[in-house]
Amino acid sequence: MDGEYAQRGQNWLVELLRLSGFSTTVESGESVTSLEADSCWLTIDHNQLTPVQIERLVGPQGSTIDAIQYLANTILNLGKPPTEQQAYTIELGGYRLQRHTELRAIAETAAAQVRATGEDFVIPSLSAAERRLIHTYLKDFADLQTYSQGQEPQRYLTVRRPLPEA
């Protein structure tokens, strides 16, 4: 990860938080999970926030922190060629790490069920970033396929055995 990208992301997030009425600091660093090895993690210091502020920043089912992460990735990469774009992950109070653990468990459950029954396993109610993480996790399972269907906000991920070749 380039220090310039990390500093730019850190500055942007601190300013967004300040403008939103949250006075805290942000640390930047390398990804802490193998699923997002190329992502720059921007960690909001939860020790400088009240529990109510943390709850507001995470939002229902992580919707607010996901929106902040989406904005970071969109705004900070605006006008940059694909080779110069940087992925950003926003962390607050261990939310992302906990959610990654939950998503890995969901993916493992889906894989086990598809292998046991041969039937498709549908995973609803995931953000685009969460669907991408499950796709990434399960891509190494040669006996499984994943695909997304539907339109936002009713988009879902399906895990299945590969269809036989014609």
25-81 pLDDT, tens digit per residue, is 999 986 665 555 578 999 999 999 999 999 999 999 899 999 999 999 999 999 999
| pTM of the predicted structure, to 2 decimals | 0.81
155-164 pLDDT, tens digit per residue, is 899 999 987 7
Chain centroid to Cα 22, Å, comes to 22
Mean pLDDT along residues 103-131: 93
Pick the CATH number of 3-93 from 3.40.50.1980, 3.40.50.1860, 3.90.170.10, 3.30.300.20: 3.30.300.20
Q: What pLDDT was estimated at residue 33?
A: 58
Task: Kindly give the pairing relationship between strand 87-92 and strand 39-44.
Answer: parallel
Going from N- to C-terminal start, the domains of the chain cover 3-93, 100-160
Please report, for the chain, how many H helices and E strands are present, in that order: 5, 6
Domain 100-160 has CATH 3.30.1370.50: yes
Q: What pLDDT was estimated at residue 35?
A: 54
